[in-house]
Structure formats: C-alpha cells, structure tokens
Homo-oligomer: A and B are copies of this chain.
Amino acid sequence: MSKGWTGNFFEDFSLGQHLPCPTPRTLGSGEIATYIALTGDRTAAFSIDGTIHPLLLFHQVLGQTVRHASLNAVANLGYAELLFHPVQATAGDTIHTSNEVIGLKENSSGQSGIVWLKSIGRNQEGQALLSYVRWVMVRKRESAQTQWSTSPIIPALAGTISPDQVRPSADISTAIPASQIGWTFEDYQPGERIFHHDGHTVTPGDHMAFTRLFQNSARVHFDAMHTDGKPLVFGGYVMSIGYAQMLSGMENRRGLVAINSGTHAHPVHAGDTLYSMTEVLETDPLGDAPVGALRCRLRVLKNDNPAQDPQRTYGSPRDMPSVVLELDLWELMPKTQTSSTRSTR
C-alpha cells in the first residue's frame, strides 16, 4: 500500500472526532498583496496596516481542513453560523484550525454521505478568530451500509446569526475619507438592490493561484486531465470576487462579520465572467455602536450582468443557471449619527 494520501472516506469519520490542522500558517504582507492582486479587493480597512481580510482568514482556515475533510468531497453543500470574532487577525499571526465532526448522514444511494464539521480558526495565542459549520458530501470507500444510514445525526443549525452575536472589534475605524461616496448605514433600506457593475473574467491561472495560496489541494481545481480539460474554480475564489465587486455601492463598509448561509449553485470555469448584485435584507443599528449591521444577500452570476435586468425575479439559485453563488451575510457600515431603529423587510 503506497503512502500517498488519498483522503478520508465517509466511513473514516466518527461523531465527535477531532481533526486538528496539519499545516499552521503565518499570514503576512505576502498573503495580503496576493489576495488583492487576485481579487482586486479595495476595501480600505483591509488595505492598510497589515489588517487581514476576513475572507483571506476564512479561506485559509477552510484550506487547512481540506486534506482531512474534503479531499473526497463530491460537493461542498453549505455553510452556517459563520462568525468572525472581535479579535482582528493581523500580519504576522499564525493560524491554527481545529475541526470537530458534529453530524453524519449516509445518503440513500449508498455511495456517499454528508459530514458536518465545526471548524474554529485561532491565532498563535489560541484566541478564536473565526468559527463556522460546513457540510460536505463525501464518497464512501465501500458499499456496506453504515449506522448513519438508518440513524443519522443532523445538527440543529441557526438559519441566521442574530445581530446580538455580531460584535464589532473595539477599535473599529469609522472615519470616512472626504472623497468617499457618501452612503452610510442610515442610507440602506431593506429590499433595495445594488448592482456592482464590474465584470471579472476568470483566467486559467488566477483561480488556481488563489486556491493554492490557501494550501487548498482539492484535485478537482488543478488537474485538467482529471477534469476533462475543465478544472473547477474553487468556490472561495467566486466568493472573494463577488465580495470585492460588492464594494461598489458599499464603499464605506468595514468588513463582513458573519455568513448566515451560502450556496454554490453552479460551477464556474476559466473563461467565465463574474458579475454581482446585492439585496439588503435587514438592517440593525447594533445599539449605540458607531457602525450598524446590514444583512445582505450577495449574488454572483456568470456571463450574465444582473444590472441589465434590474427588476428580474430571483427564485432558488439552483433553478437559475447563471447564478453561481448566493451568500447571506452581515456587513458593518459606519453610521452618520447614533441611530437605534432596526428595520427588517
């Protein structure tokens, strides 16, 4: 038996199993610059002073889980309860990730099962920076039925993170450059749509470099022979491109603090052009904080600019072939004045 690692199969997971990360990673100026070069993100808060972009942190943490959790994944089914903690990661921090298996369900096909993982990313001092649950469909090694076929454990997950859990870091900057386009928290209304206009064509190399930056080694992203000439673009790249585009119309944002849910609805390949739009779902002033929270649905589309049909009705993303990602997230936005009105669509 060759020692080359072929990944865990569904049978290799057990409830409560702990999977610490094999490769801790120090993030620094290099990762920040590469992230900007590959995504074009212009968020002011993550362009200065070594502040680590929340999605850079997320992809690194997720990348650390791939060897053990998702090398044999058929599909990345979803995220829930993704929360960035108030401790801000900065250049020089070394990220460690731990994983716990919190749910298991064998599929009726007998070919695969679903694994729910709770992951926590910590800095070198052990402080939690990020926690979330994701679930993936993983191939079985053999056909024999497991106990998770008849007695599945499906964790109860919050559909939406409550604004009470959203805690901006104590030293969050709310200064707005004089030239900045002027929207602040109070200007956003539940139900409004924002079209981000910028298109981003995915090149053959950029998505691979992005995926490798996070030491994510899932073969389907890199091996053209294994994928009939069409390596699959890592969903995290699509997420970061969409989030970078989202700045247009949300120029003063202070960074996402939570992801309520996410769906990678359709595959993306090199050559596709990505566009995006945002719907504001809910606003919350976070009490007297200098920033309020906007719950937004970010949609990323391929080869289809949503601004060209602004009144379009969107149903389930799985039914709309051009929708490649829907992400329900909480974003922070500076207030003009102290405000305490909460607004839900």
Contact = CB atoms under 8 A, between A and B. Distances in A.
Interface of A: 2-6, 18-26, 28-34, 36-44, 47-50, 67-68, 91, 94, 177-181, 183, 187, 192-201, 203-206, 208-213, 215, 217, 219, 222-226, 231, 248-251, 271, 273, 303, 305, 307, 310
Given A3-B192, A23-B43, 6 more contacts: A4-B307, A28-B30, A30-B31, A48-B94, A203-B203, A205-B206
A49 B2 contact: no
A219 B198 contact: yes
Given A48-B24, A206-B208, A217 B33 contact: no
B5 A248 contact: yes
Name the prevailing secondary structure of the A interface residues.
loop
B24 A47 contact: yes
A47 B33 contact: no
A94 B192 CA distance: 35
A73 to B, nearest CB: 15
Given A36-B213, A219-B199, A303 B225 contact: yes
A225 B212 contact: no
Nearest to A305: B225
B20 A28 contact: no
A71 to B, nearest CB: 9
Nearest to A97: B179
A153 B178 CA distance: 26
Contacts of A192: 2-3
A280 B199 CA distance: 42
